[in-house]
A and B are shown apart, each in its own frame.
Chain A
Amino acid sequence: EVRLVQSGAEVKKPGDSLKISCKGSGYSFTSHWIGWVRQMPGKGPEWMGIIYPGDSGTRYSPSFEGQVTISDDKSINTAYLQWSSLKASDTAIYYCARLLYGSGTRPMDVWGQGTTVTVSS
C-alpha cells in the first residue's frame, strides 16, 4: 500500500522556526515528485511547491518562494517543509502528496494525513 505519513501537529510562536516531515512507503520514493499544499481554514488548497527525490530538484509557487524551503532525505524516504520565521498567517493544515508518475506537471494522487500548524503568541 502506498502511504505518506506526516509528522504531528505543531503549536509555535511568531518568529519560531519549524520543519515538518512526510515519510513515504510502499513505492519507489525516488521515482515520484512530492509536493506540499497549504489549506487555510475553510479555504481551498494552495500548491506550494514540489521536490524530486531522485535529484532533490525543487520548484516553488511564486507565492511561496522565499517563504518556505522544501527538502528531502532519500535515505529515509522523507520529504520536509520548513520555515525559518513563522508568522500568524502561516496557521493552516499542510499536506504532502505524491505526484503521479512522470514529470512535475502531474497531479497529486496520494496524500498524507495533513499536519496542523498553529502560530500564535
Chain B
Amino acid sequence: QSALTQPASVSGSPGQSITISCTGTSSDVGGYEYVSWYQQHPGKAPQLMIYDVSNRPSGVSDRFSGSKSGNTASLAISGLQAEDEADYYCGSYTSTTTWVFGGGTKVTVL
C-alpha cells in the first residue's frame, strides 16, 4: 500500500487560511468516508484533528475543517495562528482493511 501524497510544505501569514491536500486512490481515500487528519508538533505524538472526512473530535478548534472530492481529501485551517505550525498527516482506511498515512506536510506560519 503506497503512502498518500501530500505537499511537502504549506505556509501562510497569521490570520490567513491555508489548505492541505491528500491524494490517494479509489482503494483508499476515494473508496471510503474514513479519512483522518493528525497534527504533530516536534517531539510529540500525533493528535487527531479530523476523522470521517469532516468530523472534529471534542476540543479541536472549529478553525480546522475537512472535506473530500474523489480521491483527494483536504484539510483547511482558517485564521492561522502561530500554534498551528506543525506537521500534518492524513490517513485513510484501505481496501486491505488496514490504514495508510500520507508523507506529511510542514505548515509554517510566516
Residue on B nearest A95 in the bound complex, by CB = B45
**Number of A positions contacting B (CB below 8 A):** 24
Interchain residue pairs with CB less than 8 A apart (24): A44-B102, A44-B103, A45-B38, A45-B46, A45-B89, A46-B101, A47-B91, A47-B99, A47-B100, A59-B98, A62-B1, A62-B98, A97-B45, A104-B97, A105-B32, A106-B51, A107-B36, A107-B48, A107-B52, A108-B46, A108-B48, A111-B46, A111-B47, A113-B45
**Number of B positions contacting A (CB below 8 A):** 25
Q: Which residues of B contact A (CB under 8 A)?
A: 1, 3, 32, 34, 36, 38, 45-48, 51-52, 57, 89, 91, 93, 96-104
Q: Identify which of residues 53-110 in chain A touch chain B, using a CB-to-CB cut-off of 8 Å.
A: 59-63, 95, 97, 100, 104-109
Tell me the bound Cα distance from A30 to B1 in angstroms.
29
Contacts of A107 in B (CB 8 A): 34, 36, 48, 51-52, 91, 99
